[in-house]
Amino acid sequence: MLITLLAGCGLFSKNARLADIPISIDGNPEEWEPFPVVHDDPKGDNITNEYDISIVKAFSNNETMIMYILVESYIPMKDFTSVEIDLQYGDDIYRVGLQPDDLPQGVLAHKIGIEENEIQWEVLTNSLGARLSSDQAIEISIPMDYFTDSTSLKISDLRIMGGICCNQFEYFAIDYLNPFD
């Protein structure tokens, strides 16, 4: 199988054909039309009016080892601070943090435990080589070099973040999926 949908229930059987569709990370979601929606998000569950997640599409290309994510909004998007994506790989939880217009992009951290009710993270890299573009939609590509088997990688949450990164009192999720499973 050339691509793996990162969520959903396995109803989809056009994987080989979809692998031929190039994804341009330019904020234009046009080329995603044939891909299935992997998450439908409710309208109006956003905290502030910068973004209201409507649908998410996501897949990994198992040949190029790149993951692609599309996030669309019910309302015209405004500025946001970052996108956080939680990836589950077996029992392991990884978190990708991406800010717009910040190159080379992406922080990848691995959850190593909980101490005094606070989650402890080990940062694996500050330059993941991911890309994010936002215009009509948010498009993201993430290299999967840190994961040996992309077929068992799942998105467990995705958050559009606002406020001041990453101050715990002023940094908040504008909208989030919670969760795919």
Determine, following the binding rule CB under 5 A, whether residue 28 of this chain makes contact with Ca ion: yes
Task: Report in angstroms how near the CB of residue 163 gets to Ca ion at its nearest.
Answer: 18
User: Which segment (27-35, 96-104, 107-115, 155-163) binds Ca ion by CB under 5 A?
Assistant: 27-35
- 12 and 148 Cβ atoms separated by less than 8 Å: no
The verdict on 53 binding Ca ion (CB under 5 A) reads yes
Of 45 and 149, nearer to Ca ion (C-beta) is: 45
Residues whose CB falls within 8 Å of the CB of residue 40, separated by 6 or more in sequence, listed in order:
54, 55
Alpha helices (H) along 37-135:
none
Residue 175 binds Ca ion, judged by CB under 5 A: yes
Q: Rounded CA gap, 96 and 123, in Å?
A: 10
Nearest to 64 by CA among 25, 8, 93, 23: 23
CB 52 to Ca ion: min, Å: 5
Residue 157 contacts Ca ion per CB under 5 A: no
Site residues for Ca ion per CB under 5 A: 24, 26, 28, 41, 45, 52-53, 175
